[in-house]
Chains A and B, each alone.
Chain A
């Protein structure tokens, strides 16, 4: 039912093999050993391409396993696109790439219905979004209208064109890059769009050793050529199941909600973390726990992921921003204040340890419970 060829003006499909959906569901639960082996193979393969960025690589894999989308934000030339492409290469799945330009149209992304004169009917031509891994380069160069075309697909893994809804293949992940320095002719991502991205990573410059190694290895050879896929789509689907089965205790949920409440109540922030943000934080924490070989989430997972997952969604008050306060500062401040709940599972639900976070907190709690 999914068309094989997908060509848009800006999209270049690099891999056209799209396996049928639901194939992974048939397999039984993957063992912890197999999960650990696969994840370490993926990371090893990626690390051979990207030197000295183990954290960024691990985070990218975490976001993939948490069924989220990744926003890479950094100056040009530090390997944003390379990271995205490497992740795509290590997985044996379909990849499409969209170079965002100001004249890119929404239909270029989602697809378009074209009148077929033979059949006297409209045929749907899928856009670049119909792939397992979508790399959106310089996403902030497209107009807000085009960016919004991503909203539905990213959140609901589906596309609606002309009233018809088309499902996207699983796994589905958007890796977008943007350049924060160059402001001319860019359209900053709206809050709603940023909220769709699970995590934002700034790669930063490599350290001296890594840079030397990079200069050595990347001179004439494209390191990507040496990458062979280590995991199939079915493997990734099985890994997703392992992540979904990771246990989250009431204490960790409380901690997450308290963190969200702290960002909402903070006087230095104009916009705090949304319930979706907390949901994604918890999902990312589950993936991180699974990658660490644990069957349950620790508050440490929440702590480590809080900045990459939350920082890009928060808006700092103008006064505080003028004092040099950043969203990361606010998060670190909140983490230093919120007591880590030590109430083990099964304790009274009344004891929310006094960190009431108002109506919004209750909503977040409800959302967290509803999943």
Chain B
């Protein structure tokens, strides 16, 4: 009679004493429950490691409001497997329990209302989760770090941390490879390392390292070889001293290594440059991210400002002027810029004879984190700014080593009062000291751009006339504004081919219009650049006054992100244009003369100047731009625009996760075989009793474990109630006649070391053992069917069966 049937008989028979019978039945099925605190200690260690490593997200997220939810999700993810491990026979189900715990933890933390009992996810929970995740995906695409911990982001963070907890728990406890839990901890550090300026940060690093040590220590003490034990091992005397010595040696080596090896100060890890070049509006390609910002139509208020200009202002952040390659890029920030923001002058500004209007603007940034300062064109001074910011006179931009988050500052700017007549008079050739990057074009500009520019500007003699012709052409009804068409047609961005396509399709958004105008202007000999920033926002009700001048309040939202061209006119400096239809406002000087008077409200919007007519004589410009342009000194770092789509990262991560069992198994096998072969067969007499004392690591025991693992991989079902001899018999049956001798070797060596008297000589040499194992491995692969082989490699069952 077999076990289960007799068990059921007993159940029926017991009748009256159902309680004890029930317990006996469960116990018979589940095995004896494990005792001792080991499983709880391990769960706490994993929780500590995950939460410690999650401190690195300090720079990724604005605050720690997500932390309690993350603790909840991770704790539930770890609680269920810990409960499961009460019964050793259920050990291999722990990952599944962790998965359930993960679901339940996320449900409890985020959607308790939609779930049964607040824990068990329902269909509406899944719907809500998908909605939240897609919301988070959108905000990840459009925001720069640090991002606010809105529910979507917090959900993604908690889900990620919970999953990592699952991974670490499986690796460290179920698979008994605590060292491999570094993989999970590194996953937590990745977001900070890849997306933030400050990297992981000291607290995150200390948290991750401490958590890792915690896992290693607890696993060593409470679950050596993956077997939970009732009480902790005593640390052997001298362990602390050895650990301290080793740690000190590692620190010294790393300090020396960092001097000689590249990558410590300039690499991605731990504190070097980020993938996204510093200084962009976003970590990604500024063009793409701008498009994303526009498409998201985010109504979140990024900043608000009070200005004494009668009309709202364009706020510039950075510029794109380098069109030497395939696309528009920002030029490198020259070294040696001054951080004095009191008396700012552009490298090539307007002639001092041109009448100028002074504008004062108070900007409060609410929800924008950038290293570029939003400011109107022709800034002359910035006050009450936190951190160190530098003025680049060549591009008239201000960049800093701090971010704009929560900054509040006052900008004073001086714009020349521009009129069409004035501009029309600016016919001189551009100063040849002007940085050639503003007029440089690559050799292979598509012909359509040049021909279009020439056709459009035919008959115009002055640079201003040509510029107006291009702007009018782009604003004509032939072109339509659409943020979606370029994405659908696949020409998003500002590359050359994109521009050619844009001129054919005649649909796009500000990037395409401004880039097209800038390139066409360069084709016609006018230096140009693209300013990136925000279009004028919408008025809000705030008012204020500075020095008796009334200020009007405006607010700028994410959807107001904008790009526009700036063209250089000798004697007048850089003049903004607005080629994008239905966006922003066309400045007065850039309007058709006939419409000039009919729309007085839009006058000189860009300048922030009053639209009063001026009769300033078009005096011959005297090039007064004597201030030394920032000589292009040693380039600090070439900004690279690594366009890493989230999809690629996800696919790579998925592949890594999918391949990790295979790699783990291969590593385990290689380690065991190397240990079986060992360094010196005569180790026994070398006076290292501490090494010899632990026979669990003896080559014979390792060889046996490896034999079991490799046969389990190929479908052998290990029964822990069978003796080694019986196991070997069944393994040999699986392997076939030719391998029975090898199996016998491994088995007899194992029996000798496990059941034989201590110190007895092994009947089989270590090399013979390893050779036998290798023959058995190849024999197994040779005998198995292809699906079985694939399963053995990709998802080795031996990793998930700990009862060997």
Binding site for B on A (CB under 8 A): 247, 249, 251-252, 265, 267-268, 295-300, 303, 319-320, 323-325, 329-330, 333, 335-340, 342-348, 350-351, 353-356
Is A344 a contact of B754 with CB atoms below 8 Å? Answer: yes
A residues less than 8 Å from B13 (CB atoms): 319-320, 323
In the docked arrangement, what's the CA distance between A333 and B764, Å?
Answer: 34
Report if B550 contacts A (CB, 8 A).
Answer: no
Is A298 a contact of B725 with CB atoms below 8 Å? Answer: yes
In the docked arrangement, what's the CA distance between A358 and B698, Å?
Answer: 32
Report if B334 contacts A (CB, 8 A).
Answer: no
Is B754 a contact of A320 with CB atoms below 8 Å? Answer: no
B residues less than 8 Å from A337 (CB atoms): 3, 28, 721
Report if B518 contacts A (CB, 8 A).
Answer: no
Q: Say yes or no: A344-B696 contact (C-beta < 8 A), given A333-B1, A351-B227.
A: yes
Q: Say yes or no: A252-B755 contact (C-beta < 8 A), given A320-B9, A348-B233.
A: yes
B residues less than 8 Å from A339 (CB atoms): 720-721, 803
Interface string of B714-731 (1 = CB under 8 A from A): 000000111111100000
The answer, among A296, A340, A354, for a CB contact under 8 Å with B723, is A340
With both chains docked as a complex, state the minimum distance between the C-beta of B85 and any C-beta of chain A, in angstroms. 11
Report if B254 contacts A (CB, 8 A).
Answer: no
Write the chain B residue with the least CB distance to A246. Answer: B757
Residues 8 to 32 of chain B near chain A (Cβ within 8 Å) = 9-10, 13-14, 20-21, 24, 28, 31-32
Write the chain A residue with the least CB distance to B234. Answer: A348
Is B701 a contact of A247 with CB atoms below 8 Å? Answer: no
With both chains docked as a complex, state the minimum distance between the C-beta of B446 and any C-beta of chain A, in angstroms. 73
A residues less than 8 Å from B693 (CB atoms): 346
Report how many residues on chain B are interfacial, defined by Cβ distance under 8 Å: 47
Report if B751 contacts A (CB, 8 A).
Answer: yes
Interface string of B686-702 (1 = CB under 8 A from A): 00000001111010010
The answer, among B20, B233, B755, for a CB contact under 8 Å with A298, is B755
In the docked arrangement, what's the CA distance between A319 and B15, Å?
Answer: 11
Write the chain B residue with the least CB distance to A340. Answer: B723
With both chains docked as a complex, state the minimum distance between the C-beta of B345 and any C-beta of chain A, in angstroms. 78
A residues less than 8 Å from B695 (CB atoms): 344-347
The answer, among A267, A299, A323, A336, for a CB contact under 8 Å with B21, is A267
Binding site for A on B (CB under 8 A): 1-3, 6, 9-10, 13-14, 20-21, 24, 28, 31-35, 88, 227, 229-231, 233, 693-696, 698, 701, 720-726, 751-758, 760, 803-804
Q: Say yes or no: A340-B722 contact (C-beta < 8 A), given A247-B757, A268-B10, A354-B34.
A: yes
A residues less than 8 Å from B755 (CB atoms): 247, 249, 251-252, 296-299
Is B756 a contact of A249 with CB atoms below 8 Å? Answer: yes
The 8 lowest CB-CB distance pairs between A and B, nearest first, are A339-B720, A344-B695, A247-B757, A299-B723, A296-B756, A344-B754, A249-B755, A354-B32
Is B754 a contact of A251 with CB atoms below 8 Å? Answer: yes
B residues less than 8 Å from A346 (CB atoms): 693-695, 758
In the docked arrangement, what's the CA distance between A335 and B721, Å?
Answer: 7
B residues less than 8 Å from A330 (CB atoms): 6
Is A325 a contact of B9 with CB atoms below 8 Å? Answer: yes
B residues less than 8 Å from A268 (CB atoms): 6, 10
In the docked arrangement, what's the CA distance between A298 and B752, Å?
Answer: 9
With both chains docked as a complex, state the minimum distance between the C-beta of B235 and any C-beta of chain A, in angstroms. 13
In the docked arrangement, what's the CA distance between A355 and B227, Å?
Answer: 14
The answer, among A323, A338, A350, A354, for a CB contact under 8 Å with B721, is A338
Besides A335-B721, A342-B754, A351-B227, 5 more A-B contacts (Cβ < 8 Å) are: A337-B28, A339-B721, A342-B724, A346-B693, A348-B233
B residues less than 8 Å from A347 (CB atoms): 694-696
Is B32 a contact of A356 with CB atoms below 8 Å? Answer: yes
With both chains docked as a complex, state the minimum distance between the C-beta of B704 and any C-beta of chain A, in angstroms. 8
The answer, among A300, A303, A323, A351, for a CB contact under 8 Å with B9, is A323
In the docked arrangement, what's the CA distance between A303 and B724, Å?
Answer: 12
The answer, among B3, B725, B752, B804, for a CB contact under 8 Å with A300, is B725
A residues less than 8 Å from B803 (CB atoms): 339
16 contacts between A and B (CB under 8 A): A249-B757, A267-B24, A295-B760, A296-B760, A297-B755, A298-B751, A320-B10, A320-B13, A333-B3, A344-B698, A345-B757, A345-B758, A350-B230, A351-B229, A354-B33, A354-B35
Is A333 a contact of B6 with CB atoms below 8 Å? Answer: yes
With both chains docked as a complex, state the minimum distance between the C-beta of A132 and any C-beta of chain B, in angstroms. 31
Is B701 a contact of A344 with CB atoms below 8 Å? Answer: yes
